């Protein structure tokens, strides 16, 4: 199986969740023949069907924190992969709040394993994929993730304010997925802006950076234009993800042509 990243949604924040102007189903990674579902937000089942992702093949569910746009469908994914608890299955990786405030007892008992991580936790090895938690600066004490295989290091910068320390955690990553909630000239206290993405990419120098998790202001600015400006300022390939986008990590080529936001 190829190493693939599929975006079941690129929206973020309460307003976009409510409007569903962009989907909020999370990100699916297929690495080393294992399927990971990262931050499954509202609508993940519908978008998985639309974009031909088989829920039941998921082995690992990850939630960076317990907010609705990141963890609303965690129990739904568990229900799907365990066939309604008929078969005990699945590994749930999360921060403390995403265990305490998301999992029902019913679904907790259906899982094979739960790993609660923080920035000090040791990496977890699953089918040749080493998963590490990274620190965030967010009111929920969330985490980000790094996925390291023999061929790739993928960094996921979840909801967080920018700092040099936050950025430096992702050194060595050749692919960065960035929750870029706000455009240039707009700042959110606990989410990256395009300027923060520029600063991070300049430090890390990945081969590819992917922007996602767009709030209203980012949608209005048009993510594809923000990505082009970030690429211009950093000299790194930068892509604005779109709902249903598939990235083949084998050659970093996007399987569908990049679209403007107006084509969603």
Give CA 40 to chain center in angstroms.
9
CA dihedral 249, 136, 37, 92 (to 10 degrees): 130
Q: Looking at the chain, list the stretches that DSSP marks H as alpha helix, in order from N- to C-terminal side.
A: 14-19, 44-50, 68-71, 74-81, 96-100, 105-108, 164-168, 194-204, 216-221, 223-234
pLDDT more than 70, % of the chain? 94
Q: Check whether 114 has a pLDDT greater than 70.
A: yes
Residue 69 DSSP SS3? helix
Question: What's the pLDDT score for residue 257?
Answer: 39
> What is the arithmetic mean of pLDDT over 26-40?
98
Q: Check whether 58 has a pLDDT greater than 90.
A: yes
Q: Which conformational region is residue 114 in: left (phi greater than 0), alpha (psi within -120 to 50 degrees), or beta?
A: beta
Encoded tokens for 40: 């499954």
Among residues 43, 13, 10, 8, the alpha carbon closest in space to that of 216 is found at 13
Question: What's the pLDDT score for residue 85?
Answer: 86
Encoded tokens for 250: 């084998």
Give per-residue pLDDT as tens, 174-232. Answer: 999 999 999 999 877 789 999 999 999 999 999 999 999 999 999 999 999 999 999 99
Encoded tokens for 24: 């909020």
Among residues 136, 54, 130, the alpha carbon closest in space to that of 93 is found at 130
> Are 146 and 171 a contacting pair, CB within 8 Å?
no
> Are 80 and 56 a contacting pair, CB within 8 Å?
yes
> Are 186 and 200 a contacting pair, CB within 8 Å?
no
Question: What's the pLDDT score for residue 240?
Answer: 98
CA–CA separation, 88 vs 107, rounded Å? 10
> Are 135 and 165 a contacting pair, CB within 8 Å?
yes
DSSP H or E stretch at residue 240: strand 237-240
CA–CA separation, 241 vs 59, rounded Å? 24
Radius of gyration of the chain (CA): 17
Among residues 68, 62, 155, 67, the alpha carbon closest in space to that of 115 is found at 62
Give per-residue pLDDT as tens, 237-256. Answer: 999 999 999 999 886 544 44
**Where are the extended beta strands (E) located within 44-142?**
58-63, 91-94, 113-116, 124-126, 129-135
CA–CA separation, 37 vs 29, rounded Å? 6
> Domain map of the chain by residue range?
4-253
Encoded tokens for 108: 């907790």
Question: What's the pLDDT score for residue 253?
Answer: 40
Q: Check whether 123 has a pLDDT greater than 80.
A: yes
Q: What architecture (CATH level 2) is domain 4-253?
A: 4-Layer Sandwich (3.60)
> Are 222 and 234 a contacting pair, CB within 8 Å?
no
Give per-residue pLDDT as tens, 189-198. Answer: 789 999 999 9
Q: Check whether 259 has a pLDDT greater than 50.
A: no
> What is the arithmetic mean of pLDDT over 109-122?
96
CA dihedral 243, 246, 247, 251 (to 10 degrees): -150
> What is the arithmetic mean of pLDDT over 50-56?
94
> Are 104 and 96 a contacting pair, CB within 8 Å?
no
């Amino acid at each position: 199986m190829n190493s693939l990243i599929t975006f079941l949604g690129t929206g973020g924040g309460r307003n976009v969740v409510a409007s569903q102007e962009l989907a909020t189903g999370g990100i699916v990674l297929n690495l080393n023949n294992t399927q990971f579902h990262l931050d499954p937000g509202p609508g993940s089942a519908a978008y998985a069907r639309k974009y031909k992702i088989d829920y039941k093949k998921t082995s690992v569910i990850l939630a960076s924190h317990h907010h609705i746009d990141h963890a609303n469908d965690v129990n739904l994914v568990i229900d799907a992969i365990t066939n309604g608890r008929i078969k005990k299955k699945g590994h749930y990786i999360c921060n403390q709040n995403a265990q305490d405030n998301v999992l029902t007892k019913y679904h907790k008992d259906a899982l094979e394993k739960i790993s609660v991580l923080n920035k000090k936790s040791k990496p977890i090895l699953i089918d040749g994929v080493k998963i590490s938690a990274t620190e965030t600066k967010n009111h929920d004490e969330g985490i980000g993730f790094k996925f390291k295989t023999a061929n790739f290091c993928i960094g996921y910068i979840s909801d967080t304010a920018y700092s040099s320390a936050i950025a430096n955690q992702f050194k060595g990553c050749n692919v960065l997925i960035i929750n870029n909630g706000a455009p240039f000239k707009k700042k959110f206290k606990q989410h990256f802006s395009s300027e923060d993405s520029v600063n991070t990419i300049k430090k890390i120098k990945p081969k590819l950076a992917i922007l996602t998790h767009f709030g209203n202001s980012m949608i209005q600015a048009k993510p594809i234009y923000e990505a082009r400006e970030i690429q211009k300022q950093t000299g790194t390939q930068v892509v604005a993800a779109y709902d249903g986008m598939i990235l083949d990590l084998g050659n970093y080529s996007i399987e569908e042509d990049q679209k403007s936001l107006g084509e969603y």
